[in-house]
Structures are given as structure tokens and as C-alpha cells.
Structure 1
């Protein structure tokens, strides 16, 4: 919801409609009449929730994501994809090498991959699904 050019009173009254979960609970705990304007409300909100903000990891962090010894390929791919979504950038030139480098070294799938020519991450995921 975007409210550009509306008076502060309107913005303050519509703000709670955008909240869910803990942020809605936090807003409900504010004492009535304790906020003078939207700038103050925004400052309180950001101050309260800034520490819980998820930091995005550098793309190179994906190089540390490895398949665990007893982990099947499907579980590893799902975990890698989750880690990839928290990375700063979605760089194809790092994603695929990081994914391949993380496949368990003694895996027959890894040996099969070594025989193939280079591919994109999407092609790899399709091959792994098969």
C-alpha cells in the first residue's frame, strides 16, 4: 500500500492495516495517543524491528554450502536453493559452481556430472529432477 501525499493522520490510521503477526501485536501494545505523528511511528517501528531484520549473505557464502554425508540429493538441492535465496545477488557464474562443489564427493551423481559439459543452473536442476 502506497500513500503518498496523504495527511499524516490518514497514513497513521491505515498503517495498522499493513501489519501482520508480531508487528501487529507490537502496534496493538502501543498506548493510545502516545504517537504524535507518522514520522514518530515510523521511527519507533524501525527501531523496534531493526534487530530482527534478516541480513543477506554474500553470494560467495554459497561456496560453503555442502551436501551432508547422509543427505540425499533432493534435500541438498532444496537446502542449497533456500541458501541461494538469502544471498545478495543471484549470480549464475557463482551459483552453479557452488552447487556442484557442494555435491557429496563420493556421489555417483557427481561422477556423472563430471562427464557432462557445462550447463546453466536451471539445466542442472532439471537434470537432477530426472
Structure 2
């Protein structure tokens, strides 16, 4: 919430409305008259929650994310995408290289990629999604239930 053009007093009073969970509890536990101004509130807030700051990783870290021998392509892609969201650089070509380099070399999906490599990350994800869906459909059709 941004309060442009309002006095600091209004911003100070609106601040608690922007908080949730632990931060709201922390604010509610402050003794009255312990904060003299909005800047002091900001300093105390940052001091209290600095350790919880979410840190981004170097994109090079993604080169270490590899599909495990017993990990499905679907599970690997979910894990890779989760790690990708923590990267400080979202360069598409680098993401593609890291993703391709992390796929288990004996994966049947590698055979598909050897025929033609996708040129964009979206195209790659579409191909992978189609491959996973086809595999899951095949398993469902060939597995007897009951």
C-alpha cells in the first residue's frame, strides 16, 4: 500500500493494516509510546525481521540441480522451477542450458530432445509437459486396477 501525498501520521497509522501473521503480532506487542516516529518504526521493523529476509541465489547454482536416477521428469521439473524462482538472473538461454544439463542422461525424454531441441524455455516446458502427460496416460492405460 502506498500513501502518496498523505502526512507521515497517516502512513504510521496505516502501517499495521499492511501486516500479516508474525509481523502483525510483533507490531501489536510493541509498548505504546516506545516509537517516536515512522523512521524509528521502520528501523525496529527491519532489525526484527532482517534474519527472515529472502535471499536470492546465483543463477550458476542452477547448474548443480540435476535429475536423480529415481526421480521422474515431472518431479525434476517441479524441483528445478522451484529453484529457478530463487535465482537472481532469469536469462532464458542460461535457464535452458541449466535445465537441459540437469536432465538424467538416460531419461527417455533425452531421446526426444536429441531429435530436436526446443528453442525457447516455454517450448521446452510444453514438450516436457506433453511427454509427462503421455507417459502418465500410458501407465494408466496399461495398469490394471482392482
Normalised by the shorter chain, which TM-score bucket?
over 0.9
- Paired residues, number: 130
Q: Mapping of 1:23-102 within 5 angstroms?
A: 23-102=23-102
Question: Where does residue 142 of structure 2 map in the other structure?
Answer: none
2:63/2:98 contact within 8 Å kept: yes
CA–CA distance in structure 2, aligned partners of residues 9 and 112 of structure 1: 62
TM-score w.r.t. length of structure 2: 0.84
RMSD: 1.2
Structure 1 residue 111 corresponds to structure 2 residue 111: yes
Rg larger in 1 or in 2? 2
CA–CA distance in structure 2, aligned partners of residues 79 and 127 of structure 1: 17
Distance 1:76 1:117, change over 3 A: closer
Structure 1 unaligned runs (5+)?
none
Shift of 1:107: 0.9
Please list the CA deviations of residues 1-50 of structure 1 after superposition, one character each: whole Å capped at 9, or x if unmatched.
Answer: 11234222211110000001111111111111211000000010111111
Shift of 1:80: 0.7
Q: Moved runs in structure 1, 4+ residues, more than 3 A?
A: none
Structure with greater contact order relative to length (CA < 8 Å, sep ≥ 6):
1
CA–CA distance in structure 1, aligned partners of residues 50 and 75 of structure 2: 32
SS across alignment from 1:74: helix
Shift of 1:111: 2.5
Question: Where does residue 128 of structure 2 map in the other structure?
Answer: 128
Shift of 1:118: 4.3
Shift of 1:116: 1.0
CA–CA distance in structure 1, aligned partners of residues 9 and 21 of structure 2: 23
